[in-house]
Amino acid sequence: MTEAWHVDTVKMWSHRNRWTLALALLMAAAPAGAARPYRGGAVATAHPAASEAALKMLQKGGNAVDAAVAAATTLAVVGPYHSGLGGGGFALVHDAKTGGTRVLDFREVAPQAATRDMYVKDGKVVPGLSTDGALSVAVPGAVAGYLELVEKHGKLPRAVVLQPAIEAARAGFWVTPKYQAVAKLRRDCLRQDPEAARIFLARNEAGEPDVPPVGYLVKQPDLARTLSTLAKSGAAPFYTGAIGQAVVDTVKKGGGLLTREDLKAYKTRAQEPLEGSYRGHRLLTMPPPSAGGLAVLQVLGALEKLRPQGLTFRDAEEVHLYAEAVRRVYVDRTKYLGDPAFVKIPMERLTSQGYLADLAGSIDPKKATSSASLLPPVEGAGESTLQKPDGSWYDPSHAPADKKNTTHISVIDKDGNAVALTTTVNYGFGSCLVAKGTGVLLNDEMDDFSARPGVPNAYGLVGGEANAIAPGKVPLSSMAPTLVFSKEDPKKVILAVGSPGGSTIPTTVIQVISNVVDQGMDVTRAVGQGRLHHQYLPDELWVDQYALEPATLRLLEAKGHKLRHIPAWGDAEAVHSDPQTNLRSAASDPRNEGAALGQD
């Protein structure tokens, strides 16, 4: 690319779309398909504006935590279809100086008035109650989590970290094809709330709120004021002040359960990371109420036992072993996992070497196992284990690409501090409910509970009694922010990775790690590779369009796998640090609209 090209690009874009310019310059700076190395810090997020916000923090002398929170709060503005101040999430924070890694769980919790069968009538789950509107809203944790991270682990003042988000809310952001695709799916839901319709939709020729065209400018002055208040006063206004009152009033008016007492009682939860290893690399990931972290450790542990010398890339025999290991791990999820404050989970046994050996040994190398033979469907559920709550057949061909509405941020700074942070409002545009006068889009996280054993949620996941609804309980999550460490120095992070994707989150993380460790791929190739997924029910191996050759697919079908072809899913975000040179590279999933940036 010539200097003139750069000048022309600046003239064309600088007055209206700085983040697009940043992405264009990044693409021009590195050969296609290559992972560009940086001498300083690096960041990957699902939106260029968020990556630019994170990079600004690093350039101001902030650390990985400052960068991650700046990105998360900016995503709350520009990515309302996947995250927001009315949501929650998980974070792993690694301190390079001490070698310690902290875990913060700021996931939402069920309101105190929640009941086990609140979405069930006449023995059946009522469609939409757990995904649309006020009754789907759990107690938000994002504001408490983001601000606690900055206050305890950041270097920059809170007001500095939140400034990019405030500016983005005031100036507005341009509607993208991704925004448009999710808004189409949730248009009718958004229309039910005047505030949500006013902010996120645009009037069509008939004067009705409709999906805005690509390039439409979405401004959020109410959200800018809310963010400014948080920057000045911290989390208190959200949980005990006027912002919280607006949240409660809006939910109450819509028939929901959230109260002032629920907000006042909300607490984040510090935890120890879940630890494992893969081919000599130490792994740290998210413990329950994440089911994703356990799945990552179990599947990688089983694969290491099945193929101790390493994996041959996309070999049909080894894809079969992978699919069978994942199938069994999702059975464990259904049987055992829930909020550990409410459910006794046999974690020591599920992560033990003996258990992983038994899991690996139970796999028939010649044929696929029937999922029902591992865990029969819940008695009385009948075929509903493969159906939506409304009785229609669950179709995963849409879910991974269109309905995954979570986002991930990966950062490693110049000193080697690292953050892997996954955050969500759950479904597209959450509950489609905005707290009046605040701009805060509220989650529909109650759908992550098991509304009824054996009935799949919005992502097709079949839950058990361990994840039943209870007051104050945290719903089970697939989110799996993960850190991988150097073989030579088990305190040095070489990979920070995570992804959205609902039920496909753990398998996305597993495959990115395997691509780096087993195949020696750079982070750009590792994130961009096609993916495969199994989740016990439906009894199908999902294959995206980039994953396997036709001959390999035929071999898998010959082993008894029922294949489901998925257009694409993912949005994995990863940052890699070379343990010898400390050069860092970042990759944002090429299937989506994110950006990977870094410091020279």
Is 426 one of the annotated binding-site residues?
yes
Q: Which of 45, 131, 268, 406 is catalytic?
A: 406
Residue 406 known to be catalytic? yes
What pLDDT is attached to residue 387?
A: 39
Alpha carbon of residue 334 to chain centroid? 20
Residue among 126, 82, 100, 74 at smallest CA distance from 452: 126
Residue among 432, 430, 394 at smallest CA distance from 188: 432
What pLDDT is attached to residue 457?
A: 72
> Taking the CB of residue 270, how many other CB atoms lie within 10 A of it?
11
Q: Where are the domains of the chain?
A: 41-275+378-594
Is 424 one of the annotated binding-site residues?
yes
What pLDDT is attached to residue 25?
A: 36
Is 502 one of the annotated binding-site residues?
yes
- Assigned CATH class of 41-275+378-594: alpha beta
Residue 505: CB partners within 8 Å, gap ≥ 6?
292, 406, 422, 478, 479, 480, 498, 499
Is 477 one of the annotated binding-site residues?
yes
Helices within 269-389 (DSSP H only)? 292-306, 316-336, 347-350, 353-361, 371-374
pTM comes to: 0.92
What pLDDT is attached to residue 34?
A: 66
Q: Report the alpha-carbon distance of residue 163 to residue 60 in Å, rounded.
A: 13
Report in angstroms the alpha-carbon separations of 167 from 170, 171, 172, 220, 435: 5, 6, 8, 10, 20
Beta bridge partner(s), residue 586: 575
Is 448 one of the annotated binding-site residues?
yes
Beta bridge partner(s), residue 274: 285
Q: Report the alpha-carbon distance of residue 169 to residue 163 in Å, rounded.
A: 10
Is 478 one of the annotated binding-site residues?
yes
Measure the CA dihedral 567/569/573/577, to 10°. Answer: -70
Q: Report the alpha-carbon distance of residue 325 to residue 299 in Å, rounded.
A: 6
532 in Cβ contact with 314 (< 8 Å): no
- The pLDDT averaged over each successive group of 10 residues in the chain (600 residues) is 30 37 37 76 98 98 99 98 98 98 98 97 93 98 98 98 98 97 97 98 97 98 98 98 98 98 98 98 98 98 97 96 98 96 97 98 98 79 38 40 76 98 97 98 96 73 88 98 98 98 96 98 96 95 93 98 89 97 97 95
What pLDDT is attached to residue 33?
A: 56
Report in angstroms the alpha-carbon separations of 547 from 299, 531, 550: 19, 5, 10
